[in-house]
Amino acid sequence: MKFNFINYLFFCSLVFLLYWNGAIKKNYQNLIILLANYAFYLFWDWRFLSLILITSITDYSLGLQIYKANKYAIKKIFLTLSLLINFGILCYFKYFNFFILSFNDLFSSIGINLNLNIVSLLLPIGISFYTFKSASYTIDIFRNKIHPTTNAIAYFTFVGFFPQLAAGPIDRASNLLPQFEKTRLFDLGIASDGMRQILWGLFKKIVIADNLSISVNYIFSNYTKLDGSILFLGGIYFAFQLYADFSGYSDIAIGLAHLLGINSVKNFNFPYFSINFREFWQRWHISLTTWFRDYVFLPVAFYFNKKLKKNHYFNVQTEFWIYIFGIVITWLLVGIWHGAEWTFVFWGLYHALFLILSNVTKNFRSLVYKKLNIKRKSTVIYIWRCLLTFILVMISWVFFRANNIGEAFIYIKQMFSKTLFVFPSQQRSNLFILFIFILIEWMQRNKMHGLEISNLKNFHRKLIYIIISLSILIFGAEKELAFIYSQF
Amino acid sequence: MKVFLKKFIIISILVYSINLIIGALIITSDKSQVWTDFYESKRIDIALTGSSHCAFGINPKVIEEITTYQTFNLSSPAQSPKTAFFIISEIINRFKPKIIVQDLFFLTFFPENQFLNCMIPFSQIKYSKNYLKNWRSNISIVEKGMSFFPVYFYKKSIVTKIKSIFRFTFFKSNDSEDTIYYKGYKGFNEKVSIRALSDANIFNNQFNFNKINREQVEYLIKTVKLCDQNNVKLIWISVPIPKASLAKIANYADINEKISDLARKNNVVYIDYNLTAKPIFVDLNDFKDDNHLNVNGGLKISTDIAKRIKSNDWN
pTM comes to 0.78
Tens-digit pLDDT profile for residues A123-162: 677 888 999 999 999 999 999 999 999 999 999 999 999 9
Number of structural domains in chain B: 1
In the structure, what pLDDT confidence band is assigned to residue A328 with cuts at 50, 70 and 90? very high
Closest CA to A474 of B158, B16, B26: B158
Q: What is the CATH number of the domain that holds B65?
A: 3.40.50.1110
Which DSSP category does B139 fall into?
S
Among residues A258, A285, A312, A338, the one annotated as catalytic is A338
B-chain residues near A195 (CB < 8 A):
8
Q: Cα–Cα distance between A425 and B9 in angstroms, integer? A: 46
Q: Does residue B50 belong to any structural domain of this protein?
A: yes
φ/ψ of B270, rounded to 5, equals -130, 120
Number of A to B CB contacts under 8 A, please give it: 57
Q: Does residue B276 belong to any structural domain of this protein?
A: yes
Examine the pLDDT at A82 and tell me if it is beyond 90: yes
| Predicted local confidence at residue B174, as pLDDT | 45
Q: Which of A313-327, A403-417, B86-100 has the lowest mean pLDDT?
A: A313-327
| Predicted local confidence at residue A335, as pLDDT | 93
Tell me if B3 and A188 make a contact (CB, 8 A cut-off).
Answer: yes
| Predicted local confidence at residue A2, as pLDDT | 47
Examine the pLDDT at A200 and tell me if it is beyond 90: yes
Q: Does residue B204 belong to any structural domain of this protein?
A: yes
Alpha carbon of residue B123 to chain centroid: 14
Per-residue burial over A72-85, b if 16 or more Cβ lie within 10 Å, else e, is eeebeebbeebbeb
Tell me if B200 and A425 make a contact (CB, 8 A cut-off).
Answer: yes
Classify strands B179-182 and B71-73 as parallel, antiparallel or unpaired: unpaired
Q: Tell me what the pLDDT averaged over chain A comes to.
A: 88
Q: Cα–Cα distance between B228 and B278 in angstroms, integer? A: 27
Tell me if A473 and B19 make a contact (CB, 8 A cut-off).
Answer: yes
Examine the pLDDT at B151 and tell me if it is beyond 90: no
Enumerate the domain spans of chain A. Answer: 23-184, 190-487
Q: Which of A40-54, A209-223, A288-302, A470-484 has the lowest mean pLDDT?
A: A470-484
Its ipTM equals 0.77
A256-266 average pLDDT score: 93
Written as one letter, the residue type at A145 is: K
Q: Does residue B149 belong to any structural domain of this protein?
A: no
Of B2, B8, B14, B15, which to mutate for an interface test with A (greatest number of A Cβ within 10 Å)?
B15
In the structure, what pLDDT confidence band is assigned to residue B172 with cuts at 50, 70 and 90? very low
Alpha carbon of residue A55 to chain centroid: 21
Task: Say yes or no: B151 contacts chain A, CB-CB below 8 A.
Answer: yes
Of A466, A468, A472, A480, which to mutate for an interface test with B (greatest number of B Cβ within 10 Å)?
A466
Q: Tell me what the pLDDT averaged over chain B comes to.
A: 83
Written as one letter, the residue type at B257 is: E
Q: Does residue B2 belong to any structural domain of this protein?
A: no
Q: Does residue B74 belong to any structural domain of this protein?
A: yes
Tell me if A425 and B18 make a contact (CB, 8 A cut-off).
Answer: no
Task: Say yes or no: B113 contacts chain A, CB-CB below 8 A.
Answer: yes
For residue B154, give the chain A residue with the closest CA: A474
Residue A301 has, within 13 A of its CA and on its CB side, a CA count of 14
B51-61 average pLDDT score: 93
Q: Does residue B196 belong to any structural domain of this protein?
A: yes
Tens-digit pLDDT profile for residues A372-415: 888 878 888 899 999 999 999 999 999 999 988 999 999 999 99
More confident: B134 or B73: B73
B214-233 average pLDDT score: 92
Closest CA to B184 of B25, B309, B68, B70: B70
Supply the range of the domain harboring residue B198: 32-141+174-311
Q: How many CB atoms lie within 10 A of CB A309?
A: 7
Tell me if B116 and A188 make a contact (CB, 8 A cut-off).
Answer: no
What's the length of chain B? 315
More confident: A306 or A84: A84
Q: Does residue B197 belong to any structural domain of this protein?
A: yes
